[in-house]
Homo-oligomer: A and B are copies of this chain.
Amino acid sequence: MSTESVVRPRIVIIGAGFGGLEAARALRKTNADITVIDRHNHHTFQPLLYQVATAVISPADIAWPVRSILRKQENAGVMLGAIKSIDTKARIVRADTVELPYDYLVLATGVTHSYFGHDDWQNAAPGLKTLTDATKIRSRVLLSFERAELAKNEADRKRLLTFVIVGGGPTGVEMAGAIAEIARQTLRFDFRNIDPRAARILLIEAGPRILPSFPEDLSAYAEKSLRKMGVEVMTSTMVTDVKRDHVMLGERKIESEAIVWAAGVKASAAAEWIGAEADRAGRIKVNADLSVPGHPEIFAVGDTATLALPIPGIAPAAKQMGKYAGRLIAARIAGNATPLAPFVYKHAGDLATIGSKSAVVKLNKLKLTGFIGWLFWSVAHIYFLIGIRNRLMVAMTWLWSYITYQRGARLITRDDRPG
């Protein structure tokens, strides 16, 4: 971009997740025209997606229209569209709905599920990245109990009451704990032919322990807590095949029709759009200032980027990177010649809930477990939820289900019932 230009520079931010929104916010005082474009009209608070998938809260409780979030930022507009291609020479983003010329571009398009080359597993084992994923998993879990109630023989009933979660990271641990509670508490008295408490919940992790990013004692605590809740935790166990009605663990066959994929992610196609070098997970190898090599006007943040030092794929990391990129662009537009110091990630901590009354938390040297951990987790998540109404609603809903074990969002709305 030419600095002599008298027109306002155009900044396009692709993706309204944590990284993209933080970049937009960091540019709020900049004399520029910002466009945030996303496939969805809403920002999704992904850390709580598993609660939608397990019928605690409603999709609208953790999603907020991007327009509402940016309403007061007058230099920013919002557009709905899916990216088709990017012309880095002409500097134009081409979406299905619109073409956007840019002077600066921020790629913040996040991740999708990775099935490690087995894309055919996707239908049998949906992952959890969008609200649609969450309602799909919710339907499948609830439907399993409904179908077990109607089952004509013991084998069907057993298969329908088996739930398999692949991947022992925070999402897998949270899903396993929540499904255990649905079976043991929420649905306990709701059926006549089956006892939901007989449900079998398996959490399968390829590595030697669950929650590998946590200290070992917290991993052990989480595993012990899950076992107490009736979850079978299987570590050092590799899933070798997934079909609609079973998973294979080497020679061992586990029959189940409710399989959840929480094992791996890969970056969106952003690297392909701009022809940039990427790592195995598809993340763009960026410079120390998050710019794309050879393209000082293009930045990649959050899960779309990779640096020499590994950065976890969590919301705070995406926010820090988005903020950094936004500030850097703001400084350039302001004509500030001094380059910013390279981006440095500050790790605040790791959190994961185990059911609705316990959590493990690691903050610097502080470790919290059990109810105290859960309290901390609740406050932190409520605090970061965007929009005061959402905060209030989610807080009330949690309090309610904490007291009653009821889940208010037990809806099967998708049309994926059996024949």
Query: CB within 8 Å of B: which residues of A?
Result: 40-42, 58-61, 63, 65, 67-68, 71, 77-82, 96-98, 131-132, 135, 142-143, 146-147, 149-150, 187, 189-193, 387, 389-390, 392-393, 396-397, 400, 404, 406, 408-413, 415, 417-419
Min Cβ gap A54→B in Å is 13
Q: In the complex, A77→B193 CA distance in Å?
A: 9
Residues of B within 8 A of A413 (CB): 59, 131-132, 135
Residues of B within 8 A of A149 (CB): 79-80
Residues of B within 8 A of A81 (CB): 150
Q: Which residue of B lies closest to A66 (CB)?
A: B190
Say whether A60 contacts B411, CB under 8 Å.
Answer: yes
Say whether A406 contacts B68, CB under 8 Å.
Answer: yes
Q: Which residue of B lies closest to A139 (CB)?
A: B41
Say whether A411 contacts B63, CB under 8 Å.
Answer: yes
Given A58-B60, A150-B97, residue A393 in contact with residue B389 (CB < 8 A): no
Q: In the complex, A319→B42 CA distance in Å?
A: 39
What are some 14 contacts across the A-B interface (CB < 8 A)? Answer: A42-B412, A58-B59, A58-B60, A58-B61, A59-B411, A59-B413, A60-B410, A65-B190, A68-B190, A78-B190, A80-B143, A80-B149, A97-B150, A389-B408
Residues of B within 8 A of A190 (CB): 65, 67-68, 71, 78
Min Cβ gap A284→B in Å is 27
Q: Which residue of B lies closest to A81 (CB)?
A: B150
Contact check: which of B68, B98, B191 meets A150 at CB < 8 Å? B98
Residues of B within 8 A of A67 (CB): 187, 190-191
Given A190-B65, A192-B77, residue A412 in contact with residue B41 (CB < 8 A): yes
Given A131-B413, A393-B393, A400-B389, residue A80 in contact with residue B406 (CB < 8 A): no
Q: In the complex, A42→B407 CA distance in Å?
A: 13
Residues of B within 8 A of A97 (CB): 147, 150, 418
Best-surrounded residue of A77, A411, A419 (most CB of chain B within 10 A): A411
Residues of B within 8 A of A410 (CB): 41-42, 60, 65, 68
Q: In the complex, A58→B411 CA distance in Å?
A: 11
Contact check: which of B77, B397, B418 meets A393 at CB < 8 Å? B397
Q: In the complex, A42→B410 CA distance in Å?
A: 8
Residues of B within 8 A of A397 (CB): 389, 393
Q: In the complex, A135→B387 CA distance in Å?
A: 22
Say whether A419 contacts B96, CB under 8 Å.
Answer: yes
Q: In the complex, A82→B400 CA distance in Å?
A: 33
Q: Which residue of B lies closest to A33 (CB)?
A: B192
Say whether B406 contacts A150, CB under 8 Å.
Answer: no
Residues of B within 8 A of A132 (CB): 413, 415
